[in-house]
């Protein structure tokens, strides 16, 4: 019988209802995590945390590399921190950094609600103020970067120097909201100052003298993952 090629689904066919079914089957967001995610806007925080699919992916990556020590840049309400901390073994530790004191307070409350306080330290301050102080606690098994995009180059450079061989560096929003490839953004566009640092960060992740492998996971916002050489 001659082989018949499978029809290719276009992007629209991959989103609804197929992706909803996959989310329900794979992500399996429980009530605690759902409450944290859904309550974020009502507490005055922007609704920009990762979704259940990305949360499960972070949990998977932390489990896959046997993470015991993780650093996260960009805590927001603590939703992604909870996914990461749940992957840690007894005695594991997540250091998560949040610039905004109000956000950090909400994150601490949510992390306590999830019963994960013994595994998480929330640091309040700018990423590049806090990260150098964390170097002494390394090397880390995984670094997750989901903060101000203009700082991505600096965050990835720090991670490259502080994640162990075989560990993961993960960057969210790597598509830069669809503008990563654009050279024609007006100077006053919100994403214009973010293009160069995001490209520089991805160039470093793709540098095979530093990282043994790099891939872009096609989530809605793009999640870049690299393995430290």
The CATH number of the domain holding residue 93 is 3.40.50.150
Domain of 141 in residue numbering reads as 11-228
Cα separation, 46 vs 33, whole angstroms: 17
Bridge-based pairing state of the strands 163-171 and 223-228? antiparallel
Cα separation, 91 vs 73, whole angstroms: 21
- The answer as to whether 223 is a domain residue is yes
Question: pLDDT tens for residues 159-216?
Answer: 999 999 999 999 999 999 999 999 999 999 999 999 999 999 999 999 999 999 999 9
For the beta carbon of residue 218, count every other beta carbon within 10 angstroms: 12
- The answer as to whether 2 is a domain residue is no
**pTM as predicted:** 0.91
- The answer as to whether 141 is a domain residue is yes
Q: What is the domain count for the chain?
A: 1
- The answer as to whether 5 is a domain residue is no
For the beta carbon of residue 139, count every other beta carbon within 10 angstroms: 13
- The answer as to whether 139 is a domain residue is yes
- The answer as to whether 1 is a domain residue is no
- The answer as to whether 138 is a domain residue is yes
**DSSP character at residue 119:** G
Q: How far apart, in Å, are the Cα atoms of 64 and each of 59, 67, 87, 107?
A: 9, 8, 9, 25
With pLDDT > 70 as the criterion, what percentage of the chain qualifies?
A: 93
Specify the pLDDT at position 9.
47
- The answer as to whether 6 is a domain residue is no
Question: pLDDT tens for residues 104-148?
Answer: 999 999 999 999 999 999 999 999 999 999 999 999 999 999 999
- Considering only 10-19, 51-60, 63-72, 145-154, which range has the smallest mean pLDDT? 10-19
The enclosing H or E element of 186 equals none
The enclosing H or E element of 169 equals strand 163-171
Specify the pLDDT at position 20.
82
């Amino acid at each position: 019988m001659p082989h018949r090629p499978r029809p290719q689904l276009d992007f629209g066919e991959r989103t609804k209802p197929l992706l909803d079914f996959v989310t329900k089957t794979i992500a399996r967001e429980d009530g605690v995590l759902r409450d944290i995610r859904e309550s974020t806007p009502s507490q005055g925080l922007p609704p920009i945390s990762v979704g259940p699919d990305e949360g499960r992916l972070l949990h998977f990556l932390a489990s896959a590399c046997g993470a015991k020590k993780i650093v996260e840049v960009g805590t927001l309400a603590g939703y992604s921190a909870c996914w990461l901390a749940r992957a840690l073994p007894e005695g594991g530790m997540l250091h998560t950094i949040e610039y905004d004191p109000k956000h950090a307070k909400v994150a601490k409350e949510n992390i306590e609600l999830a019963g994960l306080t013994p595994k998480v330290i929330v640091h309040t301050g700018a990423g590049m103020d806090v990260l150098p102080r964390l170097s002494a606690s390394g090397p880390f098994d995984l670094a997750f970067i989901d903060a101000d995009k203009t700082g991505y180059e600096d965050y990835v450079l720090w991670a490259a120097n502080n994640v162990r061989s075989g560990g993961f560096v993960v960057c969210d929003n790597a598509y830069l909201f669809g503008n990563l490839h654009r050279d024609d953004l007006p100077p006053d566009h919100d994403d214009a100052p973010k293009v160069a640092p995001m490209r520089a960060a991805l160039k470093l992740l793709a540098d095979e003298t530093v990282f043994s492998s790099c891939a872009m996971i096609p989530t809605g916002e793009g999640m870049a993952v690299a393995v430290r050489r």
